[in-house]
Every structure is written in C-alpha cells, then in structure tokens.
Amino acid sequence: MKQSIKEFALGLGVDDVGFAAVADYNSPRSPKIETISPDIKSMIVLAYKELSSCASPDKDTAMSGRQAVYEFARAANYRVARYLESKYHAKAFTVPGSNPFAMLKETGGAVGQVSLRHAAKAAGLGVFGRHNLIIHPRFGTRVNFSAVLSDLDLPSDPPLSDQLCTECNLCVEECPARALDEEGKTIVNDCFKNSQPYGLGANIAFWKKVLAASPEEQKRMMGSVDYWRLYQSILVGNQYYCFNCMSVCPIGTEI
C-alpha cells in the first residue's frame, strides 16, 4: 500500500514522500492529532524542492516562488487525499504547507495544527539543523512539506540518523532578528517582526495609528507604501521578506 501511494504522489511531481505512524510523531507545541480526528493513524508527508528564486535579493520574487510551491502542494494534497479515499476507502485530512492555521491568542498565531517539520522527521525525510528547519538528504534546507493524514494503518519509514547539519552557524550569523542565537530554539515573534513586516502585528499597529490620526494624516496613510503592502499581504497571504536561514545554508545548494 505504501509503495502504491508513494508512486502516485511522485507521479504528480512531488519530490519525495515519507510515512509516519501517529505514535511516532511528536510536536511539543502543536495540538494532539486526535483533536483533528480520533481516527487518524498515519501521516503521509510530501516534500517539495524550493525554487532557486528563494535566494533572490528581490523579496517579492522570492516570495512568488514560495507561493508557487504552496499552490502546487495544495493541489497535490487534494489529489493524494482523493486517491486514498477512492482506492482504499480511507478518511483523509489535508495539511497545507502554510496558512490557514489556528489563530489563537494562546499560540500567538504561530503554531499550526500539525508541525510539518516534526512530521517530516517522523517520516524519515530529514533531520533538524542548527536553524531548527528540516534538512533533507538530497535537497538540504531548501525544501517544503505538506501532509495528508489518514485512518490507514501505515508504519513509519526508518528515521534518518545522519548528522546532516555542518554546524557552520551561517544561519545564526545571517539572521537579522537574532532569532536563532539560543541553540535549539527559534524566537518566533522576533523572526516574524523581521520576516513578516506586513503581517498581523504590523496590521494591528497600522490601524491603531490610523484611528489616532487626524483626517489629513489618515489620507496620507492610505496613500503610503506601508498600506499598499498590508493590503497585498491580506489578499495573497503572509508575505515573507527574509529567507536568510534557508538561502544561506550550504547543504543542498548544489541540487
């Protein structure tokens, strides 16, 4: 069954596929899988190589490449889920590579229902690096993941035991937010302020200023680039303006 599912996913253009039993998945911050459904037994994790545009100094171009990956991943998720339902009469639940995810005050809107990094590790698709991202044995850090959860009883693929990270510390040194200074931890809010300057926090701050401003100042603010960027971000989703931890990592750049 696993081979059939893997061949189907690879036939869609997915770059790699791994399987994890829910019992082998452990994410310290995400909700328990049973909160999605008590029937879920396994995770099919799909891997996608990042485009080379992720290293572009033009961050709009870099983000465009990331959005392309997200759109393809969402379509692949749907196709794999439909395959599980039609061929194996399974229950299937798709987990996208990015939003939507739960926007809760308890998590600051920074924790997904499923941690795709921990799912990828459980499925044998990679290991954590110094940047707290997954390093894939072929694609290095330049990889994204999505997943399909199911009630099929699929055993986990063997975990990777190789130490892929070279501990070069480039990711730490090149992080403008200093969000990786403490090993094993990412200071998410500091990262977001830099990588998503037009995210939720910036949106709230902008509208607070608008409410407190004079009518003339409000008109000026509506014509500002900041407002235009916020508007675009609301329309198309989170806009990342920093890919340093991924783009400077030397692992996998030759692919």
Q: pLDDT of 137-195, one tens digit each? A: 999 999 999 999 999 999 999 999 888 999 999 999 999 999 999 998 998 888 888 88
Task: Identify the three-state secondary structure at position 123.
Answer: coil
Amino acid code (one letter) for 212: A
User: Residue 185: which of 131, 140, 144, 141 has the closest Cα?
Assistant: 131
End-to-end CA distance of the chain: give it in Å, rounded. Answer: 30
Helix axes 2-11, 59-88, angle to 10 degrees: 140
How open is the CA angle 69-75-81, to the nearest 5 degrees?
A: 130
Structure tokens at 24: 């082998």
Give tens-digit pLDDT for 241-250.
Answer: 888 998 899 9
User: Residue 51: which of 31, 72, 81 has the closest Cα?
Assistant: 72
Tell me the domain boundaries of the chain. 2-167, 197-236
Are the C-beta atoms of 54 and 65 separated by less than 8 Å?
A: yes
User: Residue 132: which of 97, 98, 174, 182 has the closest Cα?
Assistant: 182
Where does the pLDDT of residue 237 fall: very low under 50, low under 70, confident under 90, or very high at 90 and above? low
Give tens-digit pLDDT for 39-52.
Answer: 999 999 999 999 88
